[in-house]
Amino acid sequence: MKALRFVLGGLAAGLLMSTASAQLLLAPPFTDHAVLQREAAVPVWGWDNRPGYTVTVSYRGQKKEARVNASGLWRADLDAMAASGEGADLKVTGSSAVTLHDIVVGEVWLASGQSNMEFSLNNSRGFAEEKARAANPLIRHLRIEHSPADLPVGRVGTGGWQSASPETIGGFSAVGYFFARYLAEKLQVPVGIIHASWGGTPIESWVPEPVLRTTRGWPAYNAAWQEALKVFPQRYAEQPALEAAWHQAEEDFRAHGKPITMEWPHPPMGPGSAYAPGRLFNGMITPLAPYALRGALWYQGESNVGHHDDYRELLPALIQAWRATWPQGDFPFLVVQLPNFADKNPAGRAWAELREAQASARHLPATAMAVTIDVGDAENIHPTNKQPVGERLALIALHQIHDQLAVEWSGPMVQSVRPEGSGLRVVFTHADGLTAHTTPPAGFELAGADKIFHAATARVEGDSVLVSAAEISVPVAVRYAWTNSPAVSLYNSAGLPAAPFRSDDW
On average, the pLDDT of the chain sits at 93
Helices (H), 286-338: 308-325
Query: Is residue 397's pLDDT more than 80?
Result: yes
Query: What local confidence, expressed as pLDDT, does residue 121 receive?
Result: 98
Query: Is residue 7's pLDDT more than 80?
Result: no
Q: Letter for the amino acid at 21?
A: S
Query: In this predicted model, what pLDDT tens digit does every residue of 442-463 receive, in sequence order?
Result: 999 999 999 999 999 999 999 9
Mean pLDDT confidence for 77-98: 97
Query: Is residue 2's pLDDT more than 60?
Result: no
Angle between helices 350-359 and 308-325 (to 10 degrees): 30
CA–CA dist 2, 24 (Å, integer): 32
Query: What local confidence, expressed as pLDDT, does residue 22 receive?
Result: 54
Query: What local confidence, expressed as pLDDT, does residue 455 receive?
Result: 96
Judged by DSSP in three states, 484 sits in coil
Query: Is residue 3's pLDDT more than 90?
Result: no
Query: In this predicted model, what pLDDT tens digit does every residue of 376-391 receive, in sequence order?
Result: 999 999 999 999 999 9
CA–CA dist 292, 290 (Å, integer): 6
CA–CA dist 46, 92 (Å, integer): 10
Instruction: Identify the band that residue 9 occupies on the pLDDT scale cut at 50, 70 and 90.
Output: very low
Query: What local confidence, expressed as pLDDT, does residue 485 receive?
Result: 97
Query: What local confidence, expressed as pLDDT, does residue 452 receive?
Result: 96
Query: What local confidence, expressed as pLDDT, does residue 268 receive?
Result: 84
DSSP 156: -
Query: What local confidence, expressed as pLDDT, does residue 12 receive?
Result: 44
Query: In this predicted model, what pLDDT tens digit does every residue of 285-340 receive, in sequence order?
Result: 999 999 999 999 999 999 999 999 999 999 999 999 999 999 899 999 999 999 99
CA–CA dist 241, 200 (Å, integer): 19
Mean pLDDT confidence for 160-175: 98
Query: What local confidence, expressed as pLDDT, does residue 110 receive?
Result: 98
DSSP 70: T
Please answer whether residues 153 and 287 qualify as being in contact, where contact means their C-beta atoms are separated by less than 8 angstroms: yes
Mean pLDDT confidence for 360-386: 97
Query: In this predicted model, what pLDDT tens digit does every residue of 218-260 receive, in sequence order?
Result: 998 888 888 888 998 898 899 999 999 989 988 888 888 888 8
Name the more confident of 50 and 15.
50
Angle formed at CA 224 by CA 222 and CA 225, multiple of 5 degrees:
65
CA–CA dist 261, 269 (Å, integer): 23
Query: What local confidence, expressed as pLDDT, does residue 421 receive?
Result: 93
Name the more confident of 153 and 253.
153
Query: Is residue 18's pLDDT more than 60?
Result: no
Residue 120's φ and ψ, nearest 5 degrees, are -85, 155
Query: Is residue 108's pLDDT more than 90?
Result: yes
Q: Which of 8-22, 167-181, 282-296, 392-406 has the lowest mean pLDDT?
A: 8-22
CA 155 → CA 143, 266, 313, distances in Å? 14, 28, 29
Closest by Cα among 37, 14, 11 to 153? 11
Query: Is residue 181's pLDDT more than 90?
Result: yes
CA 306 to chain centroid: 19
